[in-house]
Structure 1
Amino acid sequence: MKVKTLEKLAKDMIDYIINLSGFEHIEDIQLNVVDNLESGDMAECNYNDSHGYIQLNIASNMINDIEQAKYVISHELGHILTREFHTYYVNFVGLDDDDMTSICSNVYEQTAEILAKRLGRLILKLYEQKDK
């Protein structure tokens, strides 16, 4: 998908959902649409734990059409809206990227993805009703 098209859609979805949700600081979300990500993922959210910023990176070469783009962006917005879950985990349990085999890390990863999937479906439905 073209970077500019994907960027325009992502900005529109972010603005709409963030304003609808009452998210405190939209400027805390930094959007980057690039050709590809090192991780090989379609998109990823990176958290800056000390300042609370969230960097949303989207790989344009992994996304084939507008429907897939909406789904991926909705999923990542699910992560953004639950950033406090990440903050809690990092501060009280600790996130050790070198030890992703611990029970705590596995539970965190699974729970974070389940939350993002559920919220992502709701976010997508809300966004699709925007102009109706």
Structure 2
Amino acid sequence: MIEMGRILEKVIASLPAEEQAAIEKRYQELKQEVEGLRELRQIAGKAQADIASALKIKQPSVSKIENQTDMYLSTLRSYIEAIGGQLELTVRLPSRPALKIHSLGDVGAAGDSRSLEAPPRRRTGVR
């Protein structure tokens, strides 16, 4: 059986150098992207139990965080720090260089009990 990787390598090797360089550049860009928190945690070599322990929550709550489509920045920051990372926020505006936001208020303020909760849901109907 012929491996697909070897065939692809031959095809790429037969292309002009500038096309090979463009393919390599795009490959490197794609390697820097992840689909979600679960993949990010796996790249960091952490189990959900590790994250739960670091955040002082139960493992099912980690799973819930990983599957959320909307969350507080403080939740995301806590999760990223639990896998050993640091959250940076970058804003890209038209005709401007990228801008980093360094502070969005005092995220670690005492009494911030919402840091690991989902955003409140709006009621859409009457009971």
Q: Taking structure 1 as the reference length, what is the TM-score of the superposition?
A: 0.23
Higher helix share: 1
Report 1 or 2 for greater relative contact order, CA contacts < 8 Å, sequence distance ≥ 6: 1
Q: Which has the larger radius of gyration?
A: 2
Higher strand share: 1
